[in-house]
Structure 1
Amino acid sequence: MGTIKLKNIRTYSYHGCLLEEGKIGSDYSVDLEIKTDLRKSCLSDNLHDTVDYVLLNKIVEEEMAIRSHLLEHVAHRIIKRIFDEIPTVSRILVGVSKLNPPIGGDVEAVTIELEEYRS
């Protein structure tokens, strides 16, 4: 097994329960970690034998572009798409962070993390 990580994927998105968040938007950061078998690609040096991180980034960006009220919801969609589209992925850990959240305090970010295993 091996791990592929995409750290700090930055997007400008429109998630949140407040009406203003859907209109104004804000900055987000996504961290993604997947587990997959990398043994074949270690030997073959062929992109077709691994999980293409360009595809992983595309999935994250596309799902972050769809408005959700909750960060949990968008994170779940990211996980579902990866499992649906990449059968070799066995585990996903995703963290979605809203930077400078409007919560009435000096908070750098609010982050939710979800971890799922292929069933």
Structure 2
Amino acid sequence: MTSKIFLENLKIYGYHGVLPEENIIGTYFILNVEIHADLWKAVGTDDLNDTINYAEVNDIIHEEMKIPSKLMEHVVGRISKKIKLAFPQITFIKVRMTKTNPPMRGEMSGVSVEIEKSY
């Protein structure tokens, strides 16, 4: 059985980007995470130890977002690896990160990077 956990539209201020001003000024990033794992045991036990603790996943995301990086790919990769390390029962993870105010011409709601991996 596969179950899914979603963290949706998590808004965090961060300092990621290639341009020097992005590391000084910062901007908001929106993160979405999808995790697959067999969580059927938790259905019967009602025990947090039998599932993925999404509060811990949230903490991992916040900690990794504190570390400035040039590339969103780097941040998303770190987040994905740390979550998998904390919860080895994960069989699939997808992390999407959106920079809400990229320093580019034109009006847009953001630029996103999404990485997914099956285990």
Match of 1:96 in 2: 97
**C-alpha RMSD over aligned residues:** 0.7
- For 2:72 and 2:112, the matched residues in 1 are separated by 8
After superposition, the C-alpha distances for 1:27-54 in whole angstroms (9 at most, x for unaligned) are 1000000001110001111111100000
- For 2:63 and 2:106, the matched residues in 1 are separated by 30
After superposition, the C-alpha distances for 1:65-115 in whole angstroms (9 at most, x for unaligned) are 111101100000001101111111111000000002111211111011000
Match of 2:88 in 1: 87
Number of residues of Structure 1 aligned to a counterpart in Structure 2: 118
Match of 2:46 in 1: 45
TM-score with structure 1 length normalisation?
A: 0.96
- For 1:105 and 1:12, the matched residues in 2 are separated by 22
- For 2:100 and 2:65, the matched residues in 1 are separated by 14
Match of 2:76 in 1: 75
* Structure 2, unaligned runs of 5 or more: none
Give the residue type in structure 2 aligned to 1:116. Answer: K
TM-score with structure 2 length normalisation?
A: 0.96
Is 2:9 the partner of 1:8? yes
Q: After the TM superposition, list the runs of 4 or more consecutive aligned residues in structure 1 that deviate by more than 4 angstroms.
A: none
* Structure 1, unaligned runs of 5 or more: none
Identity of aligned residues (%): 41
